[in-house]
Amino acid sequence: MNIGKIRIQTQYALAGKIAYVMLDFYRSEVCELKLQKDVKMPLRKVRILVILLVAIVLLIVMHHNLFNLHDLLRKEDSEPRYGGLQRFTGERIGEEIPVLIPAVEERLGGVIAAVNSIFRNTRSNVVFYIVTTNDTIDHLRAWLQKEELMGIKYKILGFDPHILKGKVQVEGDSTEVKPLTFVRFYLPMLISGTEKAIYLDDDVIVQGDIRELYDTELKAGHAAAFSEDCDSVSSKVLVRGAGRQNTYLGFLDYKKETIRKLGLKASTCSFNPGVFVANLTEWKQQNITEQLEKWMEINVVENLYGGALAGSITTPPMLLVFYKQYSSIDPMWHVRHLGSNAGTRYSSHFIKAAKLLHWNGRFKPWGRTASFSEIWDKWYIPDPTGKFHPVRRHAEEEDAH
């Protein structure tokens, strides 16, 4: 039952009890006066009158409060439940923490698990900006209406893929070339009225308080903070078949004259843009979006990173734009490579201590062969439409029998 309705019923019951007690007291006093007709008792009459006045005032105040509460509930019930800002329960006040996540139809379960893990591990006033395409909005809305997700504050934003026309070159059967992959380039266009924001890929689980990540200090003049690939955590992880992909050499084609002219050291440590904190004010002042688009357009013509061993099409332009111009986030807030192969890459003790887990790579936590998928399962909420189903080896074995 709605909490507000329970409060209304409780206050009406209390008001009724008070009225009954006062009326009973009045009757008893009047009866006593009738029995003592010969006795002048002005003080008793005054006392009765005062009590009646107090009771009337109390009932008027309660009546006023009840109407205010009723109006508030009517206002809450009239708020839209689909799209836009979702009403939420619980006391989550203070500075809003914007978290933007792209939502691709076939990976929607990842978005739900990520959102749930963030919301359940913080008391902060988080607002989720979930960016998707028109054909996914209804599915996403239906999922976010599940009881387990009530209280989450969010906005659903549509992304127009036409903005990428002439900026993306599709090669072969690349699975990363999806419009929503580039949402991270357009943060200021999607989030307004705030200086900082967090961007997260959909294949993450947050185990710490997201406010810690949001409070990451960005140095003066820096538009973003990333976790470097050479940090003590990720530098120990090898990407199978590609060697150590933690430098610019793994993402850019240094045989191309355009790259050589930039004077970027090939041994410079790279970073992963799947998790970052952005200063939107600096982002706009430095025209970061325009710079990223410029490199996207140049790559279509010159193929500056088409042959990169790392196989990413969003990382190279960000490496070019943010070369030695970014702050760092705590490595424990971006423990990655969980999806780089099917084996266990870290100890269970270390994974438990991590603040954010990222299954970047081929093997996703909703797939059959992902590492530590049991952690992801803890935060996953089943799809009410039945379209999305995590693939699990034990489930396949049961079906076979």
Helices (H), 90-234: 108-120, 137-144, 187-190, 210-214
| Digit-coded pLDDT (tens) for 199-242 | 999 999 999 999 999 999 999 999 999 999 887 565 555 544 44
For 71, 90, 106, 113, the CA distances from 383, given in Å and listed in that order, are: 34, 24, 12, 11
Burial of 253-264, coded b for 16+ CB within 10 Å and e otherwise, reads: beebeebeeeeb
Distance (Å, rounded) from C-alpha 126 to C-alpha 27?
56
Task: Name the H helices within 36-156.
Answer: 42-78, 108-120, 137-144
Contact 222, 196 (CB under 8 A): no
Confidence of residue 3 (pLDDT cuts 50, 70, 90): very low
What is the structure's pLDDT at 357? Answer: 97
114's tokens? 């990520």
pLDDT confidence of residue 280: 98
Under DSSP, is residue 377 helix (H, G, I), strand (E, B) or coil? helix
* Percentage of residues of the chain with pLDDT beyond 90: 61
Q: How confident is the model at residue 42 (pLDDT cuts 50, 70, 90)?
A: low
Q: How far apart are CA 337 and CA 98, in angstroms?
A: 25
Q: Which pLDDT tens digit goes with each residue over 106-136?
A: 999 999 999 999 999 999 999 999 999 999 9
* Residue of 400 and 205 predicted with greater confidence: 205
DSSP 264-333: --TTSB-EEEEEEEEEHHHHHHTTHHHHHHHHHHHHHHH-SSTT-TT--SSHHHHHHHTTT--EE--GGG
Q: pTM for this one?
A: 0.75
Percent of the chain at pLDDT exceeding 70: 68
Classify strands 154-158 and 125-132 as parallel, antiparallel or unpaired: parallel
Q: Which residue has the tokens 């689909």?
A: 82
Is the pLDDT at 87 greater than 70? The verdict is no
Q: What are phi and psi for residue 261, nearest 5 degrees?
A: -65, -20
Q: Which residue has the higher pLDDT, 200 or 339?
A: 200
Question: From the centroid of its chain, how far is CA 270?
Answer: 26
List CB contacts of 77: < 8 A, sequence separation 6 or more: none
How many CB atoms within 10 Å of residue 11? 15
43-83 confidence digits (pLDDT tens) = 556 566 656 665 665 655 455 444 443 333 333 332 333 33
Higher pLDDT, 90 or 399: 90
Q: What is the dihedral of CA 347, 352, 358, 362, to 10 degrees?
A: 40
Per-chain mean pLDDT for the chain: 80
- In the structure encoding, which two tokens stand for residue 88, read together? 């939420």
Contacts of 191 (CB under 8 A, 6+ apart): 98, 100, 129, 197, 280
Let me know: does 57 contact 98? Beta carbons within 8 Å.
no
